[in-house]
Amino acid sequence: MEDLQELFQEISAAKQRHYGQEAPWPRRNPIASDIGPCGRETALSILHWQERPAPSPELKARFEMGNECEARVMRQLSLMGFQVVEQQGPFELRDKAGRVILSGKIDGKIRFRGERIPFDVKSSDPRAFDRLHELLCAPECLAG
Question: Could you list the pLDDT tens digit for every one of the 144 residues in the chain?
Answer: 667 788 888 888 888 787 776 777 787 778 777 777 888 888 888 888 888 887 888 888 888 888 888 899 889 989 999 999 888 888 888 889 988 888 888 888 999 999 998 888 876 666 665 655 554 544 444 443
Would residue 49 count as lying in a domain? yes
- Number of domains comprising the chain: 1
The H or E element spanning position 117 is: strand 115-119
Structural domain including 33 reads 21-122
Crossing angle of helices 57-79 and 2-19, rounded to 10°: 70
Give the count of beta carbons closer than 10 Å to the beta carbon of residue 35: 13
How much is the pTM? 0.62
Residue 116 maps to a domain: yes
In a domain, 129, yes or no: no
Whether 134 maps to a domain, the answer reads: no
Strand order in the sheet with 83-94: 83-94, 100-112, 115-119
